[in-house]
Amino acid sequence: MAVETKQRSVTQLAAMQFVAGGCAGFVEVSIMHPLDLIKTRFQIQRGPGDPHHYTSLADCFRKIYRTEGFLAFYKGILPPLLAETPKRATKFFTFERYKNVLAYSGYLPQSWVFALAGLGSGLTEAVVINPFEVIKDPTLEILRRFTIGVMSGILGSVINIPFDVAKSRIQGPQPVPGEIKYRKCFATIATVYREEGFFALYKGLLPKILRLGPGYFCRK
């Protein structure tokens, strides 16, 4: 009886961890999607002559709300919800499983347990999701992790946003109907740089950075 009760409690805990991770992903996408949409709007605009030209983050919010309504901020939310919810559920659940296994022997220091559990959960997420903590930390530790996550996210955003701009141009409407101007990633980056200048490759950087902090916090 005691063994059955223990097995039931372990199963319930695993289910709770899986659901908690999925809920965190759902909440993150639901809160942060308007910033993703605004980032894309900035990236696909082509200059002052564009009828949908936005001069600032506030201007973009205001124009979208006035001309398209509140629900426009949630256009296209279904695909990221369907992608992020199971992704976060898998990552959260496997992180907890790896952490418990690695900490069981007591030989590894806590920092190594967290690092290896994070690595394992990330690899598992990539393997499981890409093809188709209930941890109580002191306030300073939470702030430290938050800061590290945000700074690394900012650095990553600065490096990869030109590719994000290229993706938006390739996937978005072409300048001339019936004519495909943007086809390949590096060719698109070169075209945007040549025609619109260096800073055009960093359109949408601010809303992407603003999304990092709250998004990281939701996952925690």
pLDDT tens by residue, 53-65: 778 888 888 888 8
Model confidence pLDDT, tens digit, residues 104-115: 767 677 777 788
d(CA 129, CA 143): 29
Domains of the chain plus CATH, in order, are: 2-219 (1.50.40.10)
Among residues 69, 74, 82, the alpha carbon closest in space to that of 33 is found at 74
49 pLDDT tier (thresholds 50, 70, 90): low
Which position has the token pair 């188709």?
132
d(CA 100, CA 217): 23
The DSSP line for 38-71 is HHHHHHH--STTSTT--SSHHHHHHHHHHHH-GG
Predicted confidence (pLDDT) at residue 134 exceeds the cutoff of 50: no
Average pLDDT over residues 136-150: 58
Most confident of 4-18, 40-54, 78-92, 149-163: 78-92
Model confidence pLDDT, tens digit, residues 9-18: 767 877 888 8
Which position has the token pair 């590290």?
148
Taking each continuous run of H as one helix and of E as one strand, the counts in the chain are 7, 0
Whole-number pLDDT of residue 133: 34
How far lies 31's CA from each of 81, 91, 143, in Å? 11, 20, 21
| Type of residue numbered 25 | G
Q: What is the pTM of this model?
A: 0.49
Predicted confidence (pLDDT) at residue 132 exceeds the cutoff of 70: no
Among residues 179, 147, 172, 217, the alpha carbon closest in space to that of 40 is found at 172
213 pLDDT tier (thresholds 50, 70, 90): low
Whole-number pLDDT of residue 131: 56
Specify the DSSP class assigned to residue 172.
S
Q: Collapsing DSSP states into helix, strand and coil, what is residue 178?
A: coil
Average pLDDT over residues 91-114: 77
